[in-house]
Chain A
């Protein structure tokens, strides 16, 4: 009996395996589209679509679990009688080629959507999902997951974790569904030998040294627990923030949303949940016009403190996963790394 926790998959067997997996579930993987953008997309025809494991998908998994806009419920009135329509049911879905940061983000969202009670549509989708991650041997330009403790390889949380050993993948199974899959498709795999193990650890060691950016996340988190952020830092950031909300929308752990009830005619309506962002002044503005976060000075305060101060205090780790997407999207150049740099290069008094 071979150990089903860790196995080797030859790269030649990747597509045959995915083809089998696709029979039982929707398969989603990073796909390069005709414009050259890599996005997580559903695979219809596995031979026609280009699975791209060399570029970071532009969006995280967030839209698959917390869609940009989703209908939570609908109602119809007929002769004074209300009837309600529940939200769409989730499908079994396998995500392949997910990076460590994005899975870490999903684990954080699990936490957020579990309190005070489990969020129905989120958990429906989550329970129907299986995540196959791909450890990062070569971090992308703006990544800093090592500093946030969310990569480049993972130790838990995944269904399966793939590590690229060149001509083969080192596959580890997590609890539950991942192990079941390995059992079901065992004939694609072979056992792990000592050389595979060595290579895996060697690659892990090397990957940690490949980061081009040195972001002092832990230092920043500790500093935020101990002292207030100098006012000048907020001012420096806010003059360059255009509150476009881009950072919050691409962020895999930004979960702010708004719920709107929208009439769809005289007897029908829907309740819609859509992404929102704490950087928008309308998000915090009260009915009387008063706004606790003055945009001109504190546009980004809530967002950064939430990620690095409050979540660190509550969960022991920041809710930034170092994926670097906000660095790419922010055209004002005031992403979270700018904040951390400003904070940690300040002399402590």
Chain B
């Protein structure tokens, strides 16, 4: 997030796109609802009528996968209405002329047709967003999990820059991170082409700094992305894999390929707090300690690094992940794998990661954490980003063009399947939440949301089991008839191993981010005949 979470409550206009905020980020959802109660206007872009969409003053229920067309249309309207922030554009950005010329060539009626939303509604939303100087955009995986995910994000950034809605309090672009520490994992370079703190792997100075501390050369070629690793098949380049706290056998798209890849690995080690579906395929399983059994930090959506204290000693022979890594490292003769405390690990992180430069344990303990960038011990942390300049200097407008989803509905597969989280009672593949009887009772099984118009056509009852098939696989799933989804679209979660919905999803991915198009694939629905 370029903002802090608390800033959302002070925004005048909130544009939430591709995020079922109240269910997936209830804490942030609460901030948004409070903002609305204080008089802020809410625009929600989502094909589904989610709870947050019901709160919206304008709900743009677009056809799945048409985000760019919608945002381009909004930007064109902003230009036409003379609502662009010329001063911001000239001081902070570059390449505006190219974008402007491109937008002027677009036909608004055509864009409206692509998105399935009428032109007046788009017009209203565009003006609402642009007229306020405290406009915030929150987005989530509904924007990124597309073959055009990177462009979707770029379009969102263009919109914010066009109206000058960055660099100040209560305005910005906020990707909502899905896990308590996914921001931290990215910050610590669990990404293919960067070192910690997003330092470029290609930069020799950066690599030398790490060499000095680690005593080992850092490989200069970027690694592989997740999907490239888990979808490589039998003859993949990877021979051994160590998976920590992830369950790709359920969470990645096109599951048959994932399983095929992992099963044929010469060596697979998995570290998790429970024996997951992925761990069952492993040659070695490390029982890891849960959050309550260890100390350390997590970094949340607003870049806040927070200390967590151990509440109970590890159960039986479980070990914290850091201990597992250090022991492995020592046995592989890796130098420096002898940290005595978590604080010592943090000191090395601060040393090697400029944005974490001042984040020492004693400071974190005092301040309810610190938000990066925090360059040194005197730095108070950063509430919102991009004041005075963008990370790259000037913000660059990049033209984004609408592209159709990889799969569109056709005769054999007439429905669009959208996947996501189904309820806040379960998290992801439910490896943890299903262990709680109460949570499981609240949401006990997988459901397929389907519009009444479609269920009537197929003569389906509520709760009836149907066969859901894509070009890649088939599952059986119970229906839930609802107006949350539009006709022609069905929705399901990926929480339940009994209904591995990712057997159906696509591994076609965004060429830049390598993020697969988990949000859209074409499916067919069939009544299951009972004899």
Listed in ascending order, the chain A residues whose CB lies under 8 Å from chain B are 35, 239-240, 242-243, 245, 260, 276, 280-282, 289, 331-333
Task: Give the nearest-CB partner of A236 in chain B.
Answer: B37
Query: A333, B34: Cβ atoms under 8 Å?
Result: yes
B392 within 8 A of A: no
B442:A282 contact, CB within 8 angstroms: yes
Closest CB pairs A-B (n = 8)? A282-B441, A282-B442, A242-B26, A332-B30, A280-B442, A331-B30, A240-B33, A281-B442
Check if B55 sits within 8 Å of A239, measured CB to CB.
yes
* Residue B342 is within 8 A (CB to CB) of chain A in the complex: no
Contacts of A289 in B (CB 8 A): 463
Q: Are A333 and B442 in contact (CB under 8 A)?
A: no
Kindly state the separation between the CA atoms of A281 and B441 in the bound complex, as whole angstroms: 9
A282 to B33, CA, bound (A): 26
29 contacts between A and B (CB under 8 A): A35-B309, A239-B33, A239-B51, A239-B54, A240-B30, A240-B33, A242-B22, A242-B26, A242-B30, A242-B424, A243-B442, A245-B438, A260-B437, A276-B438, A280-B438, A280-B441, A280-B442, A281-B442, A282-B438, A282-B441, A282-B442, A282-B444, A289-B463, A331-B26, A331-B27, A331-B30, A332-B30, A333-B30, A333-B34
CB-CB nearest in chain B for A295: B442
Note all chain B residues with C-beta closer than 8 A to A333: 30, 34
Binary A-proximity of B297-310 (CB < 8 A = 1, otherwise 0): 00000000000010
Bound Cα distance A228, B437 (Å): 35
Beyond A242-B424, A280-B438, 19 additional contacts (C-beta under 8 Å) are A35-B309, A239-B33, A239-B51, A239-B55, A240-B30, A240-B33, A242-B26, A242-B30, A245-B438, A260-B437, A282-B438, A282-B441, A282-B444, A331-B26, A331-B27, A331-B30, A332-B30, A333-B30, A333-B34
In the complex, which residues of chain A have a beta carbon less than 8 angstroms from the beta carbon of B463? 289
Complex Cα spacing A257 to B54, Å: 33
For chain B, the count of residues having a C-beta within 8 Å of the partner chain is 17
CB proximity of A52 to chain B, nearest CB, Å? 19
* Alpha-carbon gap, A280 to B22, bound state (A): 17
State the Cβ distance, B440 to closest chain A Cβ, in Å. Answer: 9
Shortest distance between the CB of A298 and any CB in chain B (Å)? 15
Residues of A within 8 A of B26 (CB): 242, 331
Determine the residue in chain B with the shortest Cβ distance to A262: B437
Contacts of B34 in A (CB 8 A): 333
> Using Cβ atoms and an 8 Å threshold, which residues of chain A touch B33?
239-240
Give Cα A115 to B22, complex, Å.
40
Secondary structure of the A side of the interface? loop
Bound-state CA distance A276–B54 (Å) is 29
Segment 20-44 of B: residues with Cβ below 8 Å from A? 22, 26-27, 30, 33-34
If over half of B's interface residues share one DSSP class (helix, strand or loop), that class is named, otherwise mixed; here it is helix
Most buried by A among B51, B54, B55, B442: B442
Residue of A nearest to B54 (CB): A239
Q: What is the chain B residue whose CB lies nearest that of A332?
A: B30
Q: Which of A35, A240, A245, A331 has the most CB of B within 10 A?
A: A240
Residues of B within 8 Å of A35, CB to CB, are 309
What is the bound-complex CA distance between A260 and B441, given in angstroms? 13
Task: Please give, as numbers and ranges, the residues of chain A lying within 8 Å of B55 by CB-CB distance.
Answer: 239
A67 → chain B closest CB, angstroms: 16
Contacts of B51 in A (CB 8 A): 239
Tell me the residues in window 433-452 of chain B with beta carbons closer than 8 Å to chain A beta carbons: 437-438, 441-442, 444
State in angstroms the CA–CA spacing of A261 and B463 once bound together: 28
Q: Which residues of B contact A240 (CB under 8 A)?
A: 30, 33
CA distance A333 to B423 in the complex (A): 20
Q: Which residues does chain A contribute within 8 Å of B442, judged by CB atoms?
A: 243, 280-282
A47 to B224, CA, bound (A): 59
A245 to B30, CA, bound (A): 16
A74 to chain B, nearest CB (A): 18
Most chain B CB within a 10 A radius of its CB, from A242, A243, A331, A333: A242
CA distance A281 to B444 in the complex (A): 11
**B424 contact set on A, CB distance < 8 A:** 242
Chain A's closest residue to B444 (CB) is A282
CA distance A242 to B441 in the complex (A): 15
User: What CA separation (Å) do A239 and B22 show in the bound complex?
Assistant: 9
Residue of B nearest to A283 (CB): B441
Contacts of A282 in B (CB 8 A): 438, 441-442, 444
Residues of B contacting A280 with CB < 8 Å?
Answer: 438, 441-442
- A332 to B424: give the CA distance in the assembly, Å: 14
With A and B bound together, what is the CA distance between A280 and B437 in angstroms? Answer: 12
Q: Which residues of B contact A242 (CB under 8 A)?
A: 22, 26, 30, 424
User: How far is A196 from B314 in the complex, measured between Cα atoms in Å?
Assistant: 53
CA of A280 to CA of B424, assembled, Å: 13
The residue on B at minimum CB distance from A35 is B309
B438 partner residues in chain A, CB cutoff 8 A: 245, 276, 280, 282
* Shortest Cβ distance from residue B522 to the other chain A in the assembled complex, whole angstroms: 30
Q: Closest CB-CB distance, B301 to chain A, in whole Å?
A: 16
Give Cα A35 to B26, complex, Å.
26
Which residue of chain A has its CB nearest to the CB of B36? Answer: A239
CB neighbours (8 Å) of B441 from chain A are 280, 282
For window 478-504 of chain B, which residues contact chain A by CB distance below 8 Å? none
* Residues of chain A lying within 8 A (CB to CB) of residue B444: 282
Nearest chain-B residue to A34 (Cβ)? B309
B444 CB, nearest partner CB in chain A, Å: 8
**A239 CA to B50 CA, complexed, in Å:** 12
CA distance A242 to B23 in the complex (A): 8
Residue of B at shortest CB range from A272? Answer: B437
Residue of B whose beta carbon sits closest to that of A289: B463
A69 to chain B, nearest CB (A): 11
Q: Which of A239, A276, A281 has the most CB of B within 10 A?
A: A239
In the bound complex, residues from chain A placing their C-beta under 8 Å from that of B22 are 242
Residues of B within 8 A of A239 (CB): 33, 51, 54-55
